[in-house]
Amino acid sequence: MYLSVLDSRQSLFCSSVSFEQIGILHKRFKQLSHNEDTLRRDDLNTIPDLSCNPIRTQIIEAFFDKRNFHQNGEGTVQEISFEEFLVVMSHFRPPALDMTEEQREIIRREKLRFLFNMHDTDNDGTITLEEYRHVVEELLSRSGALGKETAKGIADAAMLEVASISMGHMEPDEFYEGITFEHFLKILKDIEIETRMNIRFLNMDTTNLCK
């Protein structure tokens, strides 16, 4: 049954993922979902390696976020199929050697869109100060006993930076509502995300080694 899935989604991965690798991902999917056809949040919550990751909740939410399914949907779902799992994973494919600049730009936008969706939990298209603060707090939650004040200060400084880069000089009574996707692209354009946010899909079957 999954061969038909593979046919339709192979094009999504272009040439960077082979049939064997999709097969291995399928095995892992089955292992996580306990041999059912759909994956739920609880299945992912129980992965032990993931428990010490500071942004665990955001990552798991990203898999259930309809905006990442490339079908112009919104909101979240309770369970996902293997197809949707692959679509989310396709955000992490590395750019191929022979890609043109436009194709690289498309991939870059896609990856940055994934990150943006991780921030923007209420789906309104902008990252407000509260949402940004929440992310910074989560990131810093594992490293020492930092108060909420430090995280707040850092998030404020970061928003100020974005404001000054995107809007230039602002009048004193102007209020910066939130980071839109275009501003997000602008502040992160130097980060070379297409070379850093990649997962190399292995040919080795690691399902026996994972828990």
Binding interface with another protein (CB under 8 A): 24-25, 28, 32, 44, 47, 49-50, 52-56, 58-59, 63, 89, 92, 94, 97, 115, 118, 135-136, 139-140, 143-144, 146, 150, 153-154, 157-158, 161-162, 187-188, 190-193, 195-202, 206-207, 209-210
Q: How far is the CB of 53 from another protein (least distance, A)?
A: 5
Question: Nearer to another protein by C-beta: 72 or 114?
Answer: 114
Question: Nearer to another protein by C-beta: 76 or 90?
Answer: 90
Residue 33 phi, psi (nearest 5): -90, 10
- Does residue 49 contact residue 126 with C-beta atoms inside 8 Å? no
Question: Nearer to another protein by C-beta: 42 or 72?
Answer: 42
Q: How far is the CB of 74 from another protein (least distance, A)?
A: 21
Question: Nearer to another protein by C-beta: 10 or 92?
Answer: 92
DSSP string, 68-113: GGTSS--SB-SEE-HHHHHHHHGGGPPPPTT--HHHHHHHHHHHHH
Question: Nearer to another protein by C-beta: 52 or 72?
Answer: 52
Question: Nearer to another protein by C-beta: 32 or 87?
Answer: 32
- Write down the H helix ranges in the chain: 2-10, 19-32, 41-45, 56-63, 82-89, 101-119, 129-140, 148-167, 181-187, 193-196
At 141, which amino acid appears?
Answer: S
Residues 6+ apart with CB under 8 A from 112: 181, 184, 185, 188, 193
Residue 127 phi, psi (nearest 5): -100, 115
At 211, is the secondary structure helix, strand, or coil? coil
Rounded Cα distance between 39 and 33, Å, is: 5
Q: How far is the CB of 47 from another protein (least distance, A)?
A: 6
